[in-house]
Chain A
Amino acid sequence: MSSSFDDLLEATLHDAAASAPPRATDVRWVVGESRRRTRRRRVAGAAGVLVVALALFLVVPQWSGLSGERLQPAEGAQFVAVNDAPFRWTRPTVVGVPGGFFVWGVTGVGRMSSDSVRLPPPGEVHAALLDTRTGAWREVAAGPLGSRFGVSGSLVDGEVVLVGGATSQTSQDRRTEVAAFSLAEESWRMLPPLPEGRNRAQSVEAGGRLVVAGGGTATGRNESAVLVLETGGWRQLDVGHPVDAVLSSSVGVLLMGVGYGDNVTKVVETSLLDPGSGGLQRLARVPVSQKLLHFALGTARDATPLLGLADEEDGNLYELAFGTGGYAWEPVLTDVEGLQAALGGEDMQPTVGGFLTSAADGWLAVTGDKIHHIRVNGMSGQVVTQGGTKGGAECRISVTEFQGKALFLPDEYCDAPGGPKLLDTSGG
């Protein structure tokens, strides 16, 4: 055996290449063939081009302009017409609201860069409401937040509440402001600020309370604090393990926090939390084989909590089982091949840009370049797509489901033509 796998692989490839002495290429044939093909193309003529263009316009699915012709909606779901958005936001905050979606974010940022010499311009913040019944957008006041990126949004008692964030994508200036947009009055009001600036947090309404967890603070990422907004200010709960990633309030009034899996522990911690009483119940760990990239949490129609994980090697789906020994995450689908087979996508990359969100009758899995249903409710997030890059930044499409409709919103870094897409998973 070689001293290392990499060395053996490299030696094998170079050995093979060296063992294949190439024959000379007939350049004259190549040039002649290229010219013949060029002539054939010209013969096709402008009329043929027009016919093809018309055919493409008629048959290519609307979605194809967004991120690849292989994208297909899940069975029983269909894309419905929605107007182009009035803005092309950068990494926006999207919140499902009754009858539509609320989008808030910065525009006109241009190139995203980690290079401190070329920080992006601050950009302007815009907000708009999408009416999913008419497909129309309407701009609304952007509000008083000083943040531009990493703002968490949730719907709480008829208000869209935006939390924290930072002034730039590379800034350490994490913000404490919390603002609420009343959907009835279309006006903003400030809520008590966070105890500490928090960027890219998660927020959710649970038992009538706004709960914030995860994200980055000035004192370090993955803190164990969970914040509950109460009259007069924020109450801090300690779940005893790092909190990052996803929350769900769909199990009664309980908040389910999913912890952080890293390269050392390779586990995901989960907890059930009652934000009212502060009661906490630790749940079983979920093993993770590699660095965790994506995970999602939701509840099936039978109220069974489900956890979806996507790491660098696996695309797994777990179901929370209630047994005599307490809670345990039982694998439902546990490997790439199994998930691929279950979803029927040979080109699917469950772990790549893998993203799981909800749908009214199932779990909407956006996996690489395909969309599928599994059966869970209550999630949202982003998917990195092959929709192109712009200025070196990856195109991201935020995916948010609310009341059976999923909004796919490409951000400013998506080169591909086409605006937002609305997937109706309600079957009606």
Chain B
Amino acid sequence: MTTADFEAFVSHHGPALKRFAYVLCGDRGHAEDLVQEALVKTYRHWSRVTRLQRPEAYVRRIIVNDRHSWWRKRSNNEVPVPGIRDVAAPGDLSDGLGDRDAMWAALAGLPTRQRSVLVLRHYEQLEDAEIAELLQCSRSTVRSLAARGATRLRTALSMDHAVAEGTTRGRDA
């Protein structure tokens, strides 16, 4: 265990962790805070973390847990406002960009746990069992949160039934 190892870890995984934190919370500043805090906690146990098969998964779990804690600590009258991204995404996004903006705004309105499950499923591509372990809940909880989150998104987007039909997919490992 050396500081150099930790620096190499942060250098390699830091950007991905920040992107993950960003899609999780939707706010760049909070994302950086979340990652920074998670790394501080990780370094404290670095000797043990390095023995893990996937140390980045450990950091990711801290980020998710801290995100939920942070959410609970917010004052009740502080309402997240869906923001418009100010940096253009790479590639030709003229097709469907409006949909994605609407989806991003709708994601901002989801309860924290529902958003976390959807992000872990659709961004991190985790299986339900992995999500359940990460969130320390049962797989049925994950399925329930995902279903309810998707329903709220669909409602927000006013998607037609044909599109909505494609949303439920079995991920029960």
Contact = CB atoms under 8 A, between A and B. Distances in A.
A14 B123 CA distance: 7
A18 B172 CA distance: 29
Nearest to B119: A13
A370 to B, nearest CB: 13
Interface stretch (A30-38, A123-131, A187-195, A357-365): A30-38
A6 B93 contact: no
A11 B100 CA distance: 7
Interface stretch (A133-141, A150-158, A231-239, A347-355): A347-355
Contact of B159 (A5, A7, A30, A34): A5
A2 B98 CA distance: 10
Interface residues of A, number: 45
A18 B87 CA distance: 9
Interface string A1-39: 111111111111111111111111101001101100110
B169 A386 contact: no
A10 B40 contact: no
A384 interface: yes
Report whether over half of chain B's contact residues are helix, strand or loop; otherwise say mixed: helix
B66 interface: no
B163 to A, nearest CB: 5
A119 interface: no
A29 to B, nearest CB: 8
Contact of B20 (A15, A17, A293, A368): A17
B10 A353 contact: no
A5 B164 contact: yes
B126 interface: no
Contacts of B85: 16, 19
Nearest to A313: B147
A312 B147 CA distance: 8
Given A5-B159, A20-B87, A34 B40 contact: yes
B89 interface: yes
B44 A8 contact: no
Given A13-B119, A30-B43, A31-B43, A20 B19 contact: yes
Nearest to A36: B40
A384 B44 contact: no
A14 B93 CA distance: 12
Nearest to A385: B138
Given A14-B123, A16-B104, A30-B10, A5 B167 contact: yes
A17 B137 contact: no
A284 interface: no
A349 B148 CA distance: 11
Interface of B: 3, 6-7, 10-11, 14-15, 18-20, 22-23, 26, 28, 31-32, 35-36, 39-41, 43-44, 85, 87-90, 93, 96, 99-100, 103-104, 107, 118-119, 122-123, 136-138, 140-141, 143-145, 147-148, 150-151, 153-154, 159-160, 163-164, 166-167, 169
Given A15-B104, A16-B22, A20-B87, 8 more contacts: A1-B160, A5-B154, A10-B122, A12-B104, A17-B20, A27-B3, A30-B40, A349-B141
Interface of A: 1-25, 27, 30-31, 33-34, 37-38, 290, 293, 312-313, 336, 349, 351-353, 368, 384, 386, 394
Closest 5 A/B residue pairs (Cβ): A4-B166, A22-B18, A17-B19, A34-B43, A5-B167
